Amino acid sequence: MSHSLSLDLPLRGIVPSPGREAKTAAPQPRCLRSEDLFAGHDNLVLIEHRGAVYRLHKTRLGKLILNK
């Protein structure tokens, strides 16, 4: 003999109310394709950040390495 238990619990506080999600949703981060970054630049791109220059290098295996 099998027994089952059913609980009808309110979902208040679990499910966001309509319209509220749009106000608190964070903007999507910008996505850059590596093919676009390296277009015409062989396998090295320089990135300046807060006065320091970083080197983004694409390896022969297609992996990315970022060095300061």
pLDDT of 6 strictly over 50: no
pLDDT of 20 strictly over 90: no
Please indicate, yes or no, if residue 62 is contained in any of the structural domains: yes
More confident residue, 68 or 22: 68
Domain that holds residue 67: 41-68
Please indicate, yes or no, if residue 15 is contained in any of the structural domains: no
Task: Please tell me the number of Cα atoms within 13 Å of 65 on its side-chain side.
Answer: 9
Structural domain total, the chain: 1
Please indicate, yes or no, if residue 3 is contained in any of the structural domains: no
Pick from 5-9, 10-14, 41-45, 63-67: least confident: 5-9
What CA–CA distance (Å, rounded) separates 1 from 25? 48
Please indicate, yes or no, if residue 23 is contained in any of the structural domains: no
pTM for this one?
0.56
pLDDT of 8 strictly over 80: no
